[in-house]
Amino acid sequence: MARSEDRVATRSAFTYTGTSLGLTLAFFIASGLVGSYPLAARTGGAIWVFILSMIVTMPLITSYFKKKVQG
């Protein structure tokens, strides 16, 4: 039981962190392409996007994987 829990935790952590990093990167690239934002604003914005993305994706993805494992 503990092993399957660990597997769920690892898989979901990879997924939500990856998703959030993807969104953060998308933000960073978009802010570089659109307008002329200072680097600090782009960095700060990227951090905020990462935090909010993590908060949004973490519970959704964790419970998705848990439900998948529990059937």
Partner 1 sequence: MATKSVTLRVEGMSCASCVATIEGAVGNTPGVSKASVNLAAGKLQVAYDPSRVGIQEIAGSVAGVGYEVVPEEVSLNVSGMSCVSCAETIEGALKSFPGVSKALVNFAAGLAKVQYFSDLTSLAEMKETIKGLGYEASEKLEGAALMDREREARQREIRKQGNWMLVAWPLSFVIMLGTFREYWIFPRFVPEFLADRLVLFLLTTPVILGPALQFFKNSFNGLRRGVTDMNLLYATGIGAAYLIGVVNTFWPDAGFGGEKAVFFESAALLTAFIILGRWLEALTRGRTSEAIRRLMALQPKVARVIRGGQEIELPADEVVAEDIVLVRPGERIPVDGLVIEGYSAVDESMLTGESLPVEKKSGDEVIGGTMNKTGAFKFRATKVGKETALAQIIRLVEDAQASKAPIQKLADWVAGHFILGVHILALTVFLFWFFAGYGLFFDPASRFLLTPNQLGAIGVFGFSILLSITVLVISCPCAVGMATPSAMMAGTGKGAEHGVLFKGADAIEATSKLQAIIFDKTGTLTRGEPSVTDVIGTNGFRQEDVLELAAIAEKNSEHPLGEAIFGGAREYGLIVPDADSFEAIPGHGVVARYRDQSILLGNRKLMVEREIHIEPLLGKAEALEDDGKTAMFLAVEGKAAGLIAVADTVKEHSKEAVSLLKKLGLEVIMITGDNRRTGQAIARQVGIDRLLAEVLPHDKAAEVKKLQSEGKKVAMVGDGINDAPALAQSDVGMAIGSGTDVAKETGHVILIKEDLRDVVVALEVAKATMRKVKQNLFWAFAYNTASIPIGAGLFYPFFKLVVSPELAALLMAVSSVTVTLNTLLLKRFSPSIKRGEQKAEPLLGEFAQVPSVK
Q: Contact positions toward partner 1, by CB under 8 A? A: 1, 4-5, 12, 27, 30-31, 34-35, 37-41, 44-45, 48-49, 51-53, 55-56, 58-60, 62-63, 66, 70
- Minimum Å gap between C-beta 59 and partner 1 is 5
- Minimum Å gap between C-beta 66 and partner 1 is 5
- Minimum Å gap between C-beta 31 and partner 1 is 7
Using CA atoms in the order 56, 53, 63, 1, what is the torsion angle rounded to 10 degrees? -140
Q: Which residues lie below 8 Å from residue 15, measured CB to CB, with a gap of 6+?
A: 57, 61, 65
